[in-house]
Chains A and B, each alone.
Chain A
């Protein structure tokens, strides 16, 4: 099956800093999503991005499907950005595979 790896596993930032999170996948995919899990466990959709670039406020994402990776950019980080960021992929079925996540802590 598809393997999904995320890096870095942990990240500590000062408020206002920028960061880049990476998601590598081992095979072709036709769906890729980025999620943010808050400290209470709720997963929130950030992007549905099987290819290309999207932006939403301070967040943007780029997926290069031919090279099998996706990047999530967080600019001007805020304490509310803390939590775990997951990417999830699937290759044409409903069997989504989640990465191990990047745990982000933003300090005031």
Chain B
């Protein structure tokens, strides 16, 4: 148990569906992250939020839409995905802060997404 939870753990969706992934952290952190892990590839950073403000968008297609309503919750809204978007989506959090301070990340268990 890392203090970061993700739901659902598994998701199968069609290309025309709309779904959302949810991440919640119970660590009192201020920074939250979405990563994508495709088979046999390194983790790719998608988005970073620090104090609810988006600080990184790593050229992610607009069919992925993040939302951070507060420092404890992070969502990833999905619509009109492609089969190549099938992957493990991981959420992480860290202490965060101002001045670009970097610190230890804690990861959730991931959502394994399959797009048919």
* Contact bitstring A1-39, B, C-beta under 8 A = 1, else 0: 000100000000000000000000000001101010000
For B1, the closest partner residue in chain A by CB is A42
CB <8 Å contact, B104 and A101: no
Docked Cα-Cα span, A45 to B2, in Å, equals 9
CB <8 Å contact, B43 and A94: no
Task: From known contacts A41-B109, A41-B110, A45-B106, infer whether A93 and B42 are also in contact, taking CB-CB under 8 Å.
Answer: no
Among A40, A42, A92, find the residue whose CB has the most chain B CB atoms closer than 10 A.
A42
Size of interface on B: residues with Cβ below 8 Å to A: 29
Chain A residues, CB < 8 A from B112: 41
- The binding surface of chain B is classed by DSSP as strand
- What is the CB-to-nearest-CB distance from A97 to chain B, in angstroms, rounded to a whole number? 8
* Contact bitstring A47-62, B, C-beta under 8 A = 1, else 0: 0100000000000000
- What is the CB-to-nearest-CB distance from A56 to chain B, in angstroms, rounded to a whole number? 13
* Contact bitstring A64-103, B, C-beta under 8 A = 1, else 0: 0000000000000000000000101010111111111100
CB <8 Å contact, B100 and A93: yes
Docked Cα-Cα span, A95 to B42, in Å, equals 14
CB <8 Å contact, A95 and B90: no
